[in-house]
Amino acid sequence: MKILVLAGDGIGAEVTAQAVRILDAVAGALPGFERADAPIGADALAAYGDPLPAPTLDMARKAEAILFGAVGVPGDEEIPYEKRPGASLLRLRKDLDLFANFRPAFLFPELIGASTLKREVVEGLDLMILRELSSDLYFGEPRGFGTNAAGHAHAFNTMAYTEPEIERIAHVAFRLARTRSRKVCSVDKANVLEVMQLWRKVVARVGLEYPDVELTHQFVDAAVMQLMRAPKQFDVMVMGNVFGDILSDAAAMLTGSIGMLPSASFAQGRKGLYEPVHGTAPDIAGKDLANPIAAILSVAMMLRHSFERPDLAARIDAAVARALSEGYRT
């Protein structure tokens, strides 16, 4: 099993260092364990003139799993896309065709007071945002800046999905629901957008193949409202890339902090990229303040999903829970 560690920028490097300690602690129980590091983000840009250098990409293609930290620097969006540290993650997702992004939102009982919502609203929360990760506005063409006929500066992106792209994420959602409470809520904006009409139609059709799973549809604005009002009505929520970006942050905040949630992204098969949902947090970077729980739980997800070692994953989950119940905090 070949694991590539891409620690990246800001607190990405700090939390990944702690997660690697956990990985190494269980390595003895993993036959054929091999771990390598590669540069990505701002350091890679400085060293190679590219935030996602060819050798890193090559190693990522060959790895069986990737442990990712975070990328991006303040002022990132001013840098051209190809050289932008923060965009290296998008390029990696696209190149590896990581289309299925699992973002769980669950609450540690000890930290229930950290949520801004009332205890009874969030207690026992355990939902999964399944975000399509390879298409939508993020990658749609045409995109760019221009000048319109009236001479005004004008900028544009394209929101687009193909039927196969929707089908494959829908299948992932229904299969996932079968391992949980057999409920899928598909989130769209079919009342306004053609692309979302196709989304709803295709998800509904795929749903017919899973008669044992209850499928509901919600418009994204209403879905956010329901997520704040009564989040425990949801189990698996499936949506496109942009809505998934937004709703996964919202869902994370139900738990009180985006700082403690792991995530996993897959192409077809078991190969996965595992990363904390949080970013580089430049305001606290370099101060050893960042909470490494999200990165550590990402290692647990890796062992569970890429290497079929639920036993080791459960030990890591339990160790995190124990650290919290013993009162350790950042």
Closer CB to Mg ion, 280 or 306, in the complex: 280
Q: Which partner, ligand IPM, Mg ion, none, binds residue 86 by CB below 5 to 8 Å per kind?
A: ligand IPM
Closer CB to Mg ion, 218 or 263, in the complex: 263
**CB of 72 vs Mg ion, minimal distance in Å:** 11
Report the interface residues with Mg ion, using CB under 5 A.
245
- The stretch among 30-38, 84-92, 192-200, 264-272 that binds ligand IPM (CB under 6 A) is 84-92
- The stretch among 77-85, 86-94, 177-185, 305-313 that binds ligand IPM (CB under 6 A) is 86-94
**CB of 266 vs ligand IPM, minimal distance in Å:** 15
- Find the binder of ligand IPM among 22, 90, 170, 301 (CB under 6 A): 90
* Strand pairing category for 65-70 and 272-276: parallel
Closer CB to Mg ion, 14 or 275, in the complex: 275
**CB of 310 vs ligand IPM, minimal distance in Å:** 25
Q: Which partner, Mg ion, ligand IPM, none, binds residue 90 by CB below 5 to 8 Å per kind?
A: ligand IPM
CA distances from 262 to 104, 137, 296, 318 (A): 7, 24, 8, 15
Cβ(106)–Cβ(124) below 8 Å: no
Using CB under 6 A as the binding rule, the residues of this chain from 224 to 283 that contact ligand IPM are 245, 279
- Find the binder of ligand IPM among 10, 69, 85, 86 (CB under 6 A): 86
Residue 76 is a binding residue for ligand IPM (CB under 6 A): no
Closest residue to ligand IPM, judged by C-beta, is 245
Return residues touching ligand IPM (CB under 6 A): 72, 86, 89-90, 245, 279
